[in-house]
Amino acid sequence: MYEYLTPSEFIPVRIIFLIAFATAMYFFAIRVKFLFAAMKLGVEDPKPRFDDPGKRVTSVLTFVFGQKRVLMFLGGIGHFTIFWGFLMIAFATSELLVNAIFPSVNFWTMVPGFPIVGLIVDIISLCVIIAIVISLIRRFAFKPVRLEGPKSGMYDALIILGLITTLIITYFMMGGMRISAGEINPAFAPISNLFTGIMPAAVEGSVGSTAKLVFGILWAIHLSSLLFFIYYIPRSKHLHLLGAIPNIYLRDFGTTGAINKMDFEKLEEEEAEVFGVQEVEQFTWKQLLDGYACTECGRCQEQCPAYNTEKPLSPKILVHEMKEHLLERAPVILAEGKLDMEKTEELKEKYEILNKSMIGNVFSHEFIWSCTTCQACQTACPVWIEHVQLIVDMRRYLVLTEAAMPSEAELAMRNMEKNSNPWGIGNHKRAEWAEGLDVPVMSALEEPAEYLLYLGCSAQFDEENKGIAISTAKILKAAGVNFAILGEEEMCCGETARRLGNEYLSDAMMQGNVEIFAGYNVKKIITVCPHCYNTTKNEYPQYGGDYEVYHHTEFIKMLLDQNKIKLNKKVDLGNLVYHDSCYLGRYNDIYDQPRSLIQAATGKAPTEMAKHHKFSFCCGAGGGMMWMEEEEPRINVRRTEMAIDAGADTICTACPYCRTMFLDGVKVKEQENIKCVDISQVIADAME
């Protein structure tokens, strides 16, 4: 019966289809080959990317097919629907593809159970149409932050959504006609059945009839759309359909807290002239793949503290422009071979693109220096792109190769070089806070203490934050913990230098610290600063320093659970909001201990600000921004406003930098009645 409607029963149609199909596949293949070659221009990636296939497959199932990260946000339901709808339609449409070559094939009648699939496709297709309509309304009527940015993405999206809509509408129309021709049981195609009455009815034996003509046209539109899709995907932002799966498979399973280490010995041997990433092909192949995986969904941008305070940085633009630039530049390298400075000069006339160096042209210095490394972008990214390393790699180029950094950053670096703290205060003043407190110092002990209390620069040099060091030491003493500080021997952990891109400096600092720690046989470390915490815990292993590291909130919680400390009173701090530090929360997943300590000390759970837990909003100090002057509007002021909006009487932090930023924020907002306290101070108070 169905042959009434099948255009492919005409041999010329079949031949034309085959040619069209082969052409589409050919263009698809050469593009994919090019994309692969372009990606391979990247350098070796230092992280394990292929280990443990089991967990990687699970990860793909969770994040690609389960769309776990897409569904973190409400808007994700739309994508989920379109994604699955598209997969189903593609599957259903495969029938038409096979049928186009073998006219006698009909899945509906030949494949058992296919009508069930057909039913699902039929219904989900309607959902897709609804999702598309909603997404268009959202995009144009509400203009969400995350979709701000280059218009090219918007046109791309419109083309793709148009194509999907065309596929679905033609599918419904053809379905309706096939129902009237008796090819499909209307019970399994309720939506298509709605079109049955509208479409010209198929009449048996009516070769050349209107129905046949109309069906032929729909068939041609449907299949051309599909073939165009095949051609178009790798050439549009919907490249992510191809990029996302491998990117999620290859994602970093290690801690997100560790920045890649540079091997200076090797670089010196190679007599390297460029350090860090100046040109796009100096990124690793995996970083380039990140570009292919990006959908420009903008969830990163929506979370980014820099973008949300009118800074030039957008993590979406970062990844998008990196990809665009790669795709422009790769053909030159693929044709001419590796480009060095000399060769680039020679070829500049021949290739316009070579006049455009990535740093300075694609990404401005201001763009690169706006990042607080807070990782909100990475946490929001549905396809596991690693933005922060991209920024640090480019900062490395600026600092190490060009020595081009904001003057305040340079000053902080010089200070760290000379006095091992970003303020440049004499390091002999590091332990002045401990005078008269009888805090054990490693060098004065016969046997090294079990725990090293590593306090870091802020809690020891900043008059305002010395209270954190004092409270923590008091708590540990009260609990009878066998601990000691390093005193004047303590050096800066190197975190700031590293995030500022000065790997040469941080390398020396980290090596030095691992040696100092080894001198006291340090195995366990307690830190009060999440930056020290992250670095000693996640980055020192790169230098052979493997320690059991505790943030003071973790450790104090332990002491409390073990009844080693007693809270003698409830501290009344009014309405207390807790601010999740990026390096504690997002970086190291510590959310509960601070909250339960607050609960224990004040008798009630902290109030949550508009943004909290893994989507906490950075205080503005990370990534070395603590030492730089930020243009207004400032991140710390924005965050303070969130605390004020939550009705805070007290802002409780677990990071000295955050505390400094809030102290400044409440002054700017002239809300100095709002107290800013560290958790250790609250606990020490409750113990009195």
Binding residues for another protein, rule: CB under 8 A, are: 268, 271-275, 400-403, 405, 407-408, 410-414, 418-419, 423-428, 461-465, 504, 627-629, 632, 660, 663-664, 667-668
198: how many CB neighbours lie within 10 A of its CB? 10
| Closest approach of another protein to the CB of residue 573, in Å | 17
Nearer residue to another protein within complex by CB, 170 or 282: 282
Helices and strands: H and E segment counts in the chain = 28, 7
Q: Which two tokens stand for residue 25?
A: 């596949």
| Closest approach of another protein to the CB of residue 667, in Å | 6
| Closest approach of another protein to the CB of residue 358, in Å | 18
| Closest approach of another protein to the CB of residue 492, in Å | 13
**Strand runs labelled E in 209-299:** none
| Closest approach of another protein to the CB of residue 655, in Å | 15
Closest CA to 263 of 556, 39, 485, 44: 44
β-partners of residue 363 are: 359
| Closest approach of another protein to the CB of residue 411, in Å | 7
Closest CA to 181 of 166, 164, 196, 162: 196
Nearer residue to another protein within complex by CB, 156 or 279: 279
**Strand runs labelled E in 121-261:** none
- What is the rounded distance in angstroms from the CA atom of residue 335 to the CA atom of residue 108? 49
Q: Which two tokens stand for residue 514?
A: 């691992």
Nearer residue to another protein within complex by CB, 554 or 678: 678
Q: Are 449 and 482 in contact (CB under 8 A)?
A: yes
| Closest approach of another protein to the CB of residue 136, in Å | 43
Nearer residue to another protein within complex by CB, 251 or 499: 499
Nearer residue to another protein within complex by CB, 95 or 503: 503
Nearer residue to another protein within complex by CB, 268 or 447: 268
Nearer residue to another protein within complex by CB, 556 or 625: 625
Per-residue DSSP letters for 36-77? HHHHHTSBPP-S--SS-HHHHHHHHIIIIIS-TTGGGSTTHH
Closest CA to 544 of 567, 505, 580, 517: 517
For residue 293, report the phi and psi dihedrals to the nearest 5 degrees: -80, -20
Nearer residue to another protein within complex by CB, 572 or 672: 672
| Closest approach of another protein to the CB of residue 418, in Å | 5
Q: Where are the alpha helices (DSSP H) in 479-540?
A: 495-499, 503-519, 530-534
Q: Which two tokens stand for residue 347?
A: 């070829």
Q: Are 491 and 509 in contact (CB under 8 A)?
A: yes
| Closest approach of another protein to the CB of residue 668, in Å | 7
Q: Are 229 and 162 in contact (CB under 8 A)?
A: no
266: how many CB neighbours lie within 10 A of its CB? 9
